[in-house]
A and B are shown apart, each in its own frame.
Chain A
Amino acid sequence: MLYREAGDFKTSYAKDQQTFPIAFDRWGYFITIAFAVLVVPFILNDYWSNAVILPFLIYAIAAIGLNILIGYCGQVSLGSGGFMAVGAYAAYKLMTAFPELNIIFVILLSGGITALVGMLFGLPSLRIKGFYLAVATLAAQFFLVWLFNKVPWFYNYSASGQISAPERSLFGFVVTGANAHPATSYLFCLGFVFVMAWAARNMTRGANGRKWMAIRDMDIAAEIIGVDPLKAKLTAFGVSSFYIGIAGALLFAVYLGAAEVGEAFGIEKSFLILFMVIIGGLGSIFGSFAGAAFMVLMPVLLKNIMVGQMSWPTDLASHFQFVIVGGLIVIFLIVEPHGLAQLWRLAKEKLRLWPFPH
């Protein structure tokens, strides 16, 4: 009788509208947060931090961002890799140009710059719809990557064309650069993930989110009932790019440390984030986390099994990985087109009635 609304009396509107209406969910949420903050930093080692946890957290932000655009506003974008590159290069330029600037502001400002770029590339969405738009956003992807490759100003004229993050610290702890402790990088990213997921969840419940969903469901009808498509689409592009830009900045500054644009932010990245969103579930914040976890964990797992356990050559294992990832995506779409979030929803429905389903 754990998972019930029954007996949980709502005595105010605020309580009636809370994100987790079921007490069990609420406790689960608090316990997860407490575990993530109080326990994980102490048991985290280098391997787990670099291979699983950090990419998971950072990609979760990117997936939330893309989910706002595709899942909530219905505008398909394949340019997320390019926008992550904008975030990364903005962070690099800010870090090198203003060494005194606090790293948190650097990351937030890079998000802001990416939001502006995203809105610029979102402008055609007012005319172009559906797949035409998806392909049009590829223009952003290719153009931005080319730009960061060709204009030396962006990488401070370094000979290798790479950008590398200088060391910055927060409250006396080193966050970026080679000397950062895994636990500090982890907590730094976790803070961003927490705030941004919370903001996204509440934004999508509010007036803006409803406008986005109206545009997604039928843009002409939405326009007739008074949603301004220009505003709705551009805010969606802006907010989404803000998230993706922050993810790009974190990926570069905290996780990678050094990056080369074509390699780190190529079109594969766009597809990777798109996979996360689709596999996790369109229009669901939880789904973004689930999708990110799935896409980060699976290759690690496969590699461990095939190279570690069965000692196959790595190139063979990587081909096999392609086959399995591709196959899994197809199977997933066939079994549950609405993603992991839908499975979770179904499980919760079942749980509410358990053990007397009739």
Chain B
Amino acid sequence: MSANFYFGIEVFLNGMMAGVLYSLVALGFVLIFKASGIFNYAQGVMALFAALTLVGFQNGQIPFSHLINAIFGTNIHHFGWHMPAILAIIFTLMVMILFAYLVEKYILKHLVNQEPIILFMATIGLAYFMEGFGDLMWGADIKKLDVGIPQGGNIWLEEHTAFLGGDDFYGFYLDNLDMLATIFAGLLVVSLVLFSQYTKTGRALRAVADDHQAALSVGISLRAIWVIVWSIAGFVALVAGIMWGSKSGVQFSLSLIALKALPVLMLGGFTSIPGAIVGGLIIGVGEKMFEFLIGVPFLGGATENWFAYMLALLFLVFRPQGLFGEKIIERV
């Protein structure tokens, strides 16, 4: 076996890990789309906002300090404390729940019964708003997020797989963070499935996803459900924000992971939670392998930007509702 072959396997494994991270973001999309038929473009910015808030709490930053300084000519930046990670996460979660409540109260409530494209546009507007708001609140500089997740490659794995190849093979290099993310994503999916199958709220969620009017008529409060769903999506965004933020720092580009998650959604189907996971894995592995086998040698690299979309497009031509999406039934 040549080293190139093992390197291929390593690329494959890394692709899977990257796919899991995409799935994490896609999961938030699916939750909201199922429950309210809204295609929430702001999901990526929510992840960014959650990560910003988390870092802000941890470092004891004063919210809006730049703005206050600009208006009143003061020079304040920090409260001067360092919050433990777990406490900061809980506070951030509370902020995300508050955010969900505000979104429902000030936006969604007023847009009931509008066309999907209008709702989609509203979430793009929301994304712009949050992007500016997050920067205003916590500043736009690149921040380091550290909640105690081990960084770097896994030495144990590298040492114990080195025997597989020849002298030029040093074992598989996998990021600790990626592996942890995989575990978290797995836990998240299992708990979401359990939650929606075995709790009363979960059943209500599924009822709303199935048919808004029927759900309303048996006494399920749509508005409460929307707050819950957006809160869960906020939680998923927080997890995604922590994972991506620890990996590459908290900065504007974090919100662009939404664009990475879109082909995952298309591939897996907008309405399927397992679809988001499987779609994420296919896209992650697909784009890394394509870049490794064809992109870098023949096309000059950087194919990752569009390959996922093309792949999803190809799948869609044969299955217009995605791999796991509900079959589209059209009536005249």
Interface residues of A in 68-119 (CB under 8 A from B): 70, 76
How long is the Cα–Cα vector from A139 to B283 in the complex, in angstroms?
14
Of the listed stretches B112-120, B147-155, B192-200, B208-216, chain A binds B112-120
Question: Is there an interface contact between A135 and B310, defined as CB atoms closer than 8 Å?
Answer: no
Interface check B67, CB cutoff 8 A: yes
Question: Is there an interface contact between A320 and B316, defined as CB atoms closer than 8 Å?
Answer: no
Interface check B129, CB cutoff 8 A: yes
Q: Give per-residue flags for A125-144: 1 if the beta carbon is below 8 A from chain B beta carbons, else 0.
A: 00111111011101100110
How long is the Cα–Cα vector from A77 to B66 in the complex, in angstroms?
38
Interface check B13, CB cutoff 8 A: no
Q: Give per-residue flags for B292-332: 1 if the beta carbon is below 8 A from chain A beta carbons, else 0.
A: 00000001111101100110110011001110000010101
Question: Is there an interface contact between A333 and B120, defined as CB atoms closer than 8 Å?
Answer: no
Instruction: Report the minimum CB–CB distance from A220 to chain B (whole Å).
Output: 5
- Of the residues A221, A278, A320, contact of B132 by C-beta under 8 Å: A320
Interface residues of B in 109-154 (CB under 8 A from A): 110-111, 114-118, 120-122, 124-133, 135-136, 140
Of the listed stretches B182-190, B234-242, B257-265, chain A binds B257-265
How long is the Cα–Cα vector from A114 to B301 in the complex, in angstroms?
25
Contacts of A328 in B (CB 8 A): 125
- Of the residues A145, A149, A312, A333, contact of B125 by C-beta under 8 Å: A333
Chain B's interface: helix, strand, loop or mixed, by majority?
A: helix
- Of the residues B140, B265, B266, B309, contact of A315 by C-beta under 8 Å: B140
Question: Is there an interface contact between A135 and B132, defined as CB atoms closer than 8 Å?
Answer: no
- Of the residues A134, A136, A143, A282, contact of B312 by C-beta under 8 Å: A136
How long is the Cα–Cα vector from A220 to B127 in the complex, in angstroms?
34
Question: Is there an interface contact between B306 and A139, defined as CB atoms closer than 8 Å?
Answer: yes
Interface check A28, CB cutoff 8 A: no
Question: Is there an interface contact between B306 and A132, defined as CB atoms closer than 8 Å?
Answer: no
Interface check A14, CB cutoff 8 A: no
Q: Give per-residue flags for B66-107: 1 if the beta carbon is below 8 A from chain A beta carbons, else 0.
A: 110010000000000000000000000000000000000001
Question: Is there an interface contact between A333 and B266, defined as CB atoms closer than 8 Å?
Answer: no
Contacts of A321 in B (CB 8 A): 132
Residue of A nearest to B41 (CB): A271
Interface check B172, CB cutoff 8 A: no
Question: Is there an interface contact between A326 and B125, defined as CB atoms closer than 8 Å?
Answer: yes
How long is the Cα–Cα vector from A230 to B322 in the complex, in angstroms?
22
Question: Is there an interface contact between B124 and A329, defined as CB atoms closer than 8 Å?
Answer: yes
Instruction: Report the minimum CB–CB distance from B104 to chain A (whole Å).
Output: 13
How long is the Cα–Cα vector from A169 to B322 in the complex, in angstroms?
51
Tell me whether A128 and B320 are in contact in the complex, defined as CB-CB below 8 angstroms, given that A139-B306, A139-B309 are known contacts.
Answer: yes
Instruction: Report the minimum CB–CB distance from B125 to chain A (whole Å).
Output: 3
- Of the residues B116, B136, B313, B320, contact of A319 by C-beta under 8 Å: B136
How long is the Cα–Cα vector from A153 to B330 in the complex, in angstroms?
46
Question: Is there an interface contact between A132 and B320, defined as CB atoms closer than 8 Å?
Answer: yes
Instruction: Report the minimum CB–CB distance from A203 to chain B (whole Å).
Output: 22
Contacts of A135 in B (CB 8 A): 262-263, 265-266, 309, 312
Instruction: Report the minimum CB–CB distance from B106 to chain A (whole Å).
Output: 8
Interface check B270, CB cutoff 8 A: yes
A-B interface contact total, Cβ < 8 Å: 141
Contacts of A132 in B (CB 8 A): 266, 270, 316, 320-322
- Of the residues A127, A313, A334, contact of B317 by C-beta under 8 Å: A127
Contacts of A322 in B (CB 8 A): 128-129, 131-133, 135
Contacts of A20 in B (CB 8 A): none
Instruction: Report the minimum CB–CB distance from B52 to chain A (whole Å).
Output: 12
Interface check A157, CB cutoff 8 A: no
Residue of A nearest to B110 (CB): A334
- Of the residues A128, A150, A325, contact of B300 by C-beta under 8 Å: A150
Residue of A nearest to B130 (CB): A326
Question: Is there an interface contact between A330 and B126, defined as CB atoms closer than 8 Å?
Answer: yes
How long is the Cα–Cα vector from A333 to B113 in the complex, in angstroms?
13
Select the residue from A127, A145, A218 with max chain B CB neighbours within 10 A: A127
Contacts of A76 in B (CB 8 A): 117
Tell me whether A278 and B121 are in contact in the complex, defined as CB-CB below 8 angstroms, given that A224-B332, A323-B133 are known contacts.
Answer: yes
Tell me whether A220 and B121 are in contact in the complex, defined as CB-CB below 8 angstroms, given that A131-B270, A146-B302, A323-B136 are known contacts.
Answer: no
Select the residue from A76, A150, A325, A334 with max chain B CB neighbours within 10 A: A334
Interface check A316, CB cutoff 8 A: yes
Question: Is there an interface contact between B320 and A127, defined as CB atoms closer than 8 Å?
Answer: yes
- 26 A-B residue pairs with Cβ-Cβ distance under 8 Å, sorted by A, are A76-B117, A127-B317, A131-B270, A132-B266, A132-B270, A132-B321, A135-B263, A135-B309, A136-B266, A138-B309, A139-B310, A143-B309, A145-B305, A221-B332, A224-B332, A271-B124, A278-B121, A320-B132, A321-B132, A322-B132, A323-B133, A326-B125, A326-B129, A326-B132, A330-B122, A337-B115
Further contacts, 10 of them, CB under 8 A, given A139-B312, A328-B125: A127-B316, A127-B317, A129-B328, A142-B306, A150-B300, A267-B259, A275-B124, A319-B136, A323-B129, A326-B130
Interface residues of B (CB under 8 A from A): 39, 66-67, 70, 107, 110-111, 114-118, 120-122, 124-133, 135-136, 140, 259, 262-263, 265-266, 270, 299-303, 305-306, 309-310, 312-313, 316-317, 320-322, 328, 330, 332
Interface residues of A (CB under 8 A from B): 70, 76, 124, 127-132, 134-136, 138-139, 142-143, 145-146, 149-150, 218, 220-221, 224, 267, 271, 274-275, 278, 282, 312-313, 315-316, 319-330, 333-334, 337
